[in-house]
Structure 1
Amino acid sequence: MAKSDAVRITTARSSAAADMKSRQRRYAISMSIRTVCFLAAVFVGDGVLRWILVAAAVFLPFLAVVVANAENQRDDGFRLPDGPGAHELTAGRNED
């Protein structure tokens, strides 16, 4: 790993187990919302609201997969300066 590829602890990824648990939780929440939309579409009766709920029930699986597989990245906005000598300390004056 080069110096410019150093990882700050505040931007480090979560562990694989924590990442998997988070993805499963987001997916389960999305599928629960889909189930509610489907059941509401059955009981709401005819009308525009029924078709909105059906559309939500149809497209939520796609959105759930996209959200569940969203990459786990953190960024605190900190960047080291680039260029020659940017990472070097200079010698100070010695006044002994």
Structure 2
Amino acid sequence: MATRDERSGPEAVRITTAAPSRGSDIAARQKRYLFSMAIRTACFVGAVAVGPGWLRWVLIAGAVVLPYVAVVLASSTPKPRSEMPLRGTDWLGREIGPTR
């Protein structure tokens, strides 16, 4: 009998490896971006509140670098999961018989 590899046709798609919906993907990106910007704001406020010293420069450096990190994190897309391989089958019959 012919196996899946020998037949022509599209590869089966597993729903467990499907990408999240566009709306949930955008919501997750917005949350990551807002969290990063909240940390950046805290760095600016902390730099003003701390006063002169080395900690002020660390906080300023964090406030300068965080926008780049926030954009990179917000732009990243989730990779599909592939830890569950499909089992091959040699059965080529119909799953639903003809209707009358």
* TM-score normalised by structure 1 residue count: 0.75
Give the total of aligned pairs.
83
Q: Is 2:28 the partner of 1:22? A: yes
Q: Which moved more, 1:70-79 or 1:47-56?
A: 70-79
Per-residue CA deviations over 1:6-40 (Å, capped at 9, x if unaligned) read: 33111111111111111111111110110001110
Q: Tell me which of 11, 19, 35 is aligned to 2:41.
A: 35
State the identity %. 47
Q: Is 2:48 the partner of 1:7? A: no
Structure 2 distance, partners of 1:51, 1:2, is 56
List gaps (5 residues or longer) in structure 2. Answer: 1-8, 92-100
One-letter amino acid of the counterpart of residue 2, structure 1: P
* TM-score normalised by structure 2 residue count: 0.72
One-letter amino acid of the counterpart of residue 49, structure 1: L
Larger RCO (CA within 8 A; separation ≥ 6): 2
Q: Tell me which of 52, 72, 90 is aligned to 2:78.
A: 72
Per-residue CA deviations over 1:31-82 (Å, capped at 9, x if unaligned) read: 011000111011111111111111110010000011111112231412358x
One-letter amino acid of the counterpart of residue 65, structure 1: V
Structure 2 distance, partners of 1:48, 1:7, is 54
Structure 1 distance, partners of 2:58, 2:65, is 11
Is the contact between residue 30 and residue 61 of structure 1 (CA under 8 Å) also seen in structure 2? yes
